[in-house]
Amino acid sequence: MTAPTSPRIEHHPDIMALRAHSEETTALPAAQAVEALALLCGVYLAASAWIVGFNGATTLTANNLITGIAFALLAGGFGSAYERTHSMSWAALGVGVWTIVSPWVVAGHSFGTAATVSNVIVGAVCCVTALALAGLGVDRARTRR
């Protein structure tokens, strides 16, 4: 067997340019602020049942805890490895939309106004931050052309 003559894929110029672009994108103060806001949204969503006071509604409490942790983990991934996780911002958008509609979809309880308002507001902020994270790479790519 002969050794491969082509360089490894990690050293391909396009891959290196993509990594440099991702590092530039996440180094911007605006990008770091959006990531921090997204992380705070996830943490608030996970704890919202106890903060707002609807922890007696176990299905919505469990739903918010799980979706909040998922959103926070997604947001944490954007900061540490944006080049590999930026496409997951669409999953974060899905979590935000689910947060908005979940008080009406989750069966078994009628939730109070505070729970519904809390979910709609934090879900909307999650959607906005997810869209902002998705747009970070697009904006920088457009300005280079």
The pLDDT, as a whole number, for residue 97 is 96
- The one-letter code for the residue type at 137 is G
CB 131 within 8 Å of CB 93: yes
State yes or no: pLDDT of 8 exceeds 60. Answer: yes
- What value does the mean pLDDT take over residues 42-65? 91
Around Cβ 108, how many Cβ atoms within 10 Å?
9
> What pLDDT is attached to residue 13?
58
Q: What is the pTM of this model?
A: 0.74
